[in-house]
Amino acid sequence: MRSRDIRDFLIRYNTVTEQCFGSCVNDFTVRSVTKKEEKCSLNCLDKFLKMTQRLSFRFQCDATSPIPLSNFSTLVDFRS
């Protein structure tokens, strides 16, 4: 992996960790993780992974499909 890929992965990992922890862990009066917190964290991570997988698939599909010529003229202004 390139250093940029590793950096991007670590940023995503830290972001999802903060979001799931902030949403799921609320009780700091006990040292152990409750079953409710554990289930919430696993669901949060599962949703994130499925969303990432779906986005990757969509970007891959979009990248492999050609741009129709009718749309191309709106993307590029040949008059300038």
Instruction: Pull the structure tokens for residue 1.
Output: 């992996």
pLDDT band at 78 (very low <50, low <70, confident <90, very high): very low
Residue 17, exposed/middle/buried by CB under 10 A (0-12, 13-18, 19+)?
A: middle
- Residue 30 belongs to domain spanning: 3-65
Number of H helices, E strands in the chain: 3, 0
Q: What is the pLDDT of residues 42-75, one digit of tens each?
A: 999 999 999 989 988 888 877 676 656 555 555 4
Amino acid code (one letter) for 39: K
Q: Does residue 73 belong to any structural domain of this protein?
A: no
Q: What is the pLDDT of residues 4-49, one digit of tens each?
A: 889 988 998 999 999 999 999 999 999 999 999 999 999 999 999 9
The predicted pLDDT at position 79 comes to: 40
Q: Does residue 76 belong to any structural domain of this protein?
A: no
Q: Does residue 52 belong to any structural domain of this protein?
A: yes
Indicate the number of domains in the chain: 1
Domain holding 47: CATH number?
1.10.287.810
Which own/partner contact pairs does 66-75 have at CB distance under 8 Å and 24+ positions apart? Answer: none
